[in-house]
Homo-oligomer: A and B are copies of this chain.
Amino acid sequence: MKEVKALNSIIDQVTGQELRQAVEAVCRQAREASCQLAVAEEGRLNQALEILARRIEAATEAIIEQNKLDLALAETAGQSKAFIDRLTLNPARIQAMAQGVREIAALHSRVGKSLEERKLENGVLLQKIAVPLGVIGIIYESRPNVTIDVAALCLKSGNAVVLKGGSESLNSNRFLVGLIKEALAEAGLPTDVVGFVNSPERAATLHLLKQDKYLDVLIPRGGYELVRAVVEHSSIPVLYHAEGGARIYVDPTADLNMARQIVFNSKTNRPSTCNTLDTVVLHRDIAADFLRLALPELRAAGVRVRAEQMAFELVSPALAQELELATEEDWATEYLDLVLAVKIAGSFAEALEFIRHYSKRHTEGIVARDEKLIQTFVNSLDAAALLVNCSTRLHDGGVFGLGAEMGISTGKLHARGPVGIEELATYKWVARGNGQIR
């Protein structure tokens, strides 16, 4: 692996040693402080969170002042409207952050509980005990509310955290982290358990990716490019979702009115989310009926519908005018927008093959009544969640009853689907004997 070692020293030259040491120090301090957090009582953690909620509320004006510094820079830099919107904090959003912290405090933590227990043949009592992951690194875009959300979820689950937010939110984040540290100190917890990479440099992120000595897991939250870069270059295990987007197959045995409602909701409820419908796969036998039923409502809601040539021939000329022609690229696209692709399948097998090929392994859906066919669908597809006769938008930690979530994981190790408080834990084995040897 000599080639690669040489490459590492290139990274060092490119990025500067001082910054690397600063990032390393934050991670090391979080690791050292994490031992105290892991044995802290839940009551004390909840107390810190309640203090934090109150401090956020009390500091509303000061938060907005810092946020304005970020907004001014972002506007000067010509950032998009959507970007500016995500960056903006106002009294309502600040109140929502405080409320979110209180909801996280109310969650049930399994830390310290025995998950499994058995007596071995040799008389040893073996227990599998839930414990925090340790230190979690989080890399996210310029959305300052995420700073509070993720720090609160980490603390509640007994984890130390190192935060690296988007550089455009540096002033807001720095101030919010200050509030968190004040709350920790007031609750008698070490302030180092929430670390903050106080640098707008991109190189700081690169350094963070290499702190496997101190960080147990990295969670990148943001666009596909950010996530890919983190996965590609991290030496720390990563929990992430790469791409999202869903497909729904509508079978001839489906209740077509139910299918219409599910497709409409899956597409329009909140189009920018990762559990939103991208392609509806229609069995040829019901394609014309379904489009006649669903198209007017979708178009009225502003959805652009891109169908393959065959669909144009199946519907009336008036409806055909509402369609655009889909290209190969559409089948693979996560739109995150009011666009819907329509694929016609000659058979269930063809539909299944299509979905398997284009699946992002995040969310796939089916509307059908045939139980055997549903079971084949569920067994054959490899995705974090399979939604049968319900909206793909239901794939969510809150809806699933798992509480606040850090995101949806499309990886297969550790967590698949919603990453909530349970997924921020690991376990350790404790074996108690009275002299057993091997």
Contacts and interface: CB of A to CB of B under 8 A. Distances in A.
Contact of A399 (B120, B266, B414): B120
Contact of A1 (B118, B120, B229, B412): B229
Nearest to A7: B7
A70 B231 CA distance: 37
B269 A438 contact: yes
A131 B416 CA distance: 11
A38 interface: yes
Interface string A206-235: 100000100011000000000001011101
A120 B400 contact: yes
Interface in A342-372: 356
B232 A235 contact: yes
Given A134-B382, A378-B430, A388-B433, A413 B414 contact: yes
Contacts of A389: 432-436
A38 to B, nearest CB: 7
Interface of A: 1, 3-4, 7, 10-11, 14-15, 35, 38-39, 112, 118, 120-122, 124, 126, 129, 131, 133-134, 202, 206, 212, 216-217, 229, 231-233, 235, 237-239, 255, 258, 261-262, 265-266, 269, 356, 374, 378-380, 382-391, 393-396, 399-401, 411-414, 416-417, 426-438
Given A35-B356, A118-B401, A388-B433, 17 more contacts: A3-B10, A120-B400, A124-B390, A124-B394, A133-B413, A237-B238, A239-B413, A384-B428, A385-B428, A385-B429, A388-B431, A390-B436, A391-B437, A393-B438, A394-B437, A394-B438, A414-B414
